[in-house]
Amino acid sequence: MKFYLMLFSIALLSCNQNNPAAVNSAGEWVPTGHSFSLGQAEDVDLIKGMMADFNNLDLQSVQNRWGDTITFYPYNMKEPIIMANEDLGLWMGQFDSVQTTPLQFLPISNKGQGVRIVHTIQNENRFYKDGSVEKLHLYNIWFINDQNKVTTLRQFGADWGNN
């Protein structure tokens, strides 16, 4: 009987220690050693709205979601594009239409630095005014400031996802 009681106690203790809901933070931002935690649903809503506005090529609404200065790291360039918010129309003006289909939203927070981030995976078809078409499978990292504005977008592409 003592053997079964001991087995039951060990099983109960091991269940408690492996409970993923009990984990408040994990991972590591290597330069600082800070860990990450799950972010806010409001941050996901901000990015979902940004994607919807971009699909509609609604310049004013997209501008309202960005900060004063935009830092954009496109998937196909070595250097970032840094532009004032009011210049966003020059970039968006090259598109005839856009179809962004989100596949995943993951909000995270780096509490040690106060950073709010949303990771997304999406398929994006860009139809340019010159008739060319770009079919992309993108992994994006969106950085959000304290004023609930996107300040930075880091973009990575894969050739295998959007065929």
The neighbour count for residue 8, using CB atoms within 10 Å, is 10
Give DSSP secondary structure letters for 87-103. Answer: GHHHHHTTEEEEEEEEE
As a whole number of angstroms, the distance between CA 77 and CA 95 comes to 19
Cα separations in angstroms, 113 against 35, 37, 116 = 10, 12, 9
pLDDT in tens, 99-137: 999 999 999 998 667 789 999 999 999 999 999 999 999
What does each of the 163 residues of the chain score in pLDDT, given as a tens digit? 544 334 344 444 445 445 555 557 888 878 888 888 899 999 999 999 999 999 999 999 999 999 999 999 999 999 999 999 999 999 999 999 999 999 999 999 986 677 899 999 999 999 999 999 999 999 999 999 999 999 999 999 988 776 5
Backbone phi and psi for residue 12, each to the nearest 5 degrees, phi listed first: -65, -45
Q: Which domains does the chain have, with CATH numbers?
A: 38-158 (3.10.450.50)
